[in-house]
Amino acid sequence: MLDQIKSLVQEVQAAQPASAEELEVYRLKYLSRKGIIPSLFEDLKQLPPEKKKETGKPLNELKQLAEGKFKEWSEKLSQSTQATSSGIDLTLPPVPDTLGSLHPLTLTRYRIIEIFERLGFTVADGPEIEDDWHNFSALNFPENHPAREMQDTFFIDRNPDALLRTHTSNVQIRLMEKQRPPLRAIMPGRVYRNEAISARAHCFFHQVEGLYVDRHVGFADLKQTLYHFSKEMFGKDTKIRLRPSFFPFTEPSAEIDVSCFICGGKGCNICKHSGWVEIAGSGMVHPNVLRHVNIDPEEFTGFAFGMGIERVTMLRYGINDLRLFSENDVRFLKQFKPVF
Ligand code: PHE
C-alpha cells in the first residue's frame, strides 16, 4: 500500500487539468466518495495497528496534496472563464468616467441663495398649484386684472379655484400668514405663464422672490440690498438704476437695472446698446397686502423684489436662447462647472 501511495503522489503532482471537465474527471478519480483516496482510507481501517500508523501519515499527506491541487485548479479555471465568458477584454483602457454637472439654473439659484443668506435671509418654499387668493387677491390684484385672464394664467379649475402660480409672490402671502415680523426670506421656485414659446419666453420659468418685513424698513434698505446683491452677482464695479414702475402689491414700485457688465456700460448686444440690463421688479409692500395677512401697516413696513433666474443666468453665462434650459441637450449642459 505504501508503494501505491507513493506512485499516487507522483500522479497527482503531475496532473494538469486544463478545463472544468478535466478537473471533474480528476475529482471523481481521486477525491469523490468512490475515488481512490477515500477507498484507501477504507483499506487503512483493515490494517493491523502498527501498520496503520506507518501508512496513515503518507495517506493523509496524499489527501491534502490532492485537495490542494483541486482547489488551486478550480480557482484558476473560474477566473479565466469569468474573464472570457463575460466578453470583457481586460487589456482595454477603461471607459471614461462621465460625471454629471449641475444645471446652470441650479448653479445660479445656489449663488443667489448664498448671497442673500449672508444678509440674514432664509429660504422659503410654496406650492406651484395655487389658489386665487394667494396668487392674486391677497396681493391686491383687482378683480378684473388682465393677469387673471385665460391667456396669461393656466387655470386648472375655476371653481374651486386652482391655477398654476404666475409668480413666486404667493409664497410672500403664505409666509406672512404663518409667521409674524421680523421676516426676511427669499423664495426661489418655478412659475407658469401661458406665453408662446420663443428665445425670450417660455410657458414656465423660475423666479426668486425676496421679502423683508419689520419695523422701520425703508426704501433705502431695498436699494442697498439690491445694490449689494448686484455687485456680488455681477462684479464689484456694477452700478444699479431704479426706474418707476407698477405692481399691484407694491407701492412705490421700481424696476431694477444693472449696468451692463459685458461692455461696462458703453453699449453692446446684451444690453441692446443702452448700457443697462433689467434684472428685477421691486417695491415697498402695499399696505393692503399687509392688512390681508393681519400685519398692521402702521407698525410694520417691508420691501419685496422678484427676479427671473433664467434672466440672471443668461446674463451671467452669455446665453441667448431661453429654450436651451429645458431641451436637455447634454452638449449644452456639460459646459457648466459647479462653483462650490
Ligand atoms: N411678482 C412680480 C412679477 O412676477 C415681481 C415682483 C416681486 C415685483 C416682488 C415686485 C415685488 O413680475
Q: pLDDT averaged over consecutive 10-residue blocks of the chain (340 residues)? A: 89 86 89 91 88 88 91 83 68 79 94 97 97 95 81 82 95 97 98 87 94 98 97 93 96 95 80 90 98 98 97 89 91 76
Closest atom of ligand 1 to 210 CA is 9
Using the atom order of ligand 1, give the atom closest to the CA of residue 169.
Answer: 1
Which residue out of 195, 249, 284 has the highest number of ligand 1 atoms within 8 Å of its CB and is therefore the one to mutate?
Answer: 249
Residue 254 to residue 273: CA distance in whole angstroms: 22
Q: Is 179 exposed, middle or buried (0-12, 13-18, 19+ CB in 10 A)?
A: middle
Ligand 1 atom 5: residue of nearest CA: 306
Write b or e for each residue in 40-70: b if 16 or more Cβ atoms lie within 10 A of its Cβ, otherwise e: beeeeeeeeeeeeeebeeebeebbebbeebb
pLDDT of residue 21: 86
Q: Give pLDDT, residue 86.
A: 66
What ligand 1 atom has the least distance to the C-alpha of 166? Answer: 4
207-217 CB burial, b ≥16 within 10 A, e <16: bbbbbbbeeeb
Domain parsing of the chain, residue ranges: 2-85, 104-333
Q: Which CATH architecture has domain 104-333?
A: 2-Layer Sandwich (3.30)
CA distance 154 to 164: 6
Q: Is 281 in the pocket of ligand 1 (CB under 6 A)?
A: yes
Atom of ligand 1 nearest to the CA of 282: 10
Q: Which residue has the cell 403664505?
A: 174
Name the residue type at position 255.
E
- Ligand 1 pocket test: which of 141, 145, 167 has the largest number of ligand atoms within 8 Å of its C-beta? 167
pTM over cut 0.85: no
Q: How many residues does the chain have?
A: 340
153-161: which pairs have CB atoms within 8 A and are 24 or more residues apart? 153/192, 153/193, 153/194, 154/192, 154/193, 154/194, 154/203, 156/129, 160/131, 161/131, 161/132
DSSP H helix total and E strand total for the chain: 11, 10
Of 158, 165, 284, 265, which is closest to residue 216 (Cα–Cα)?
A: 284
Q: What per-residue confidence (pLDDT) applies to 2?
A: 86
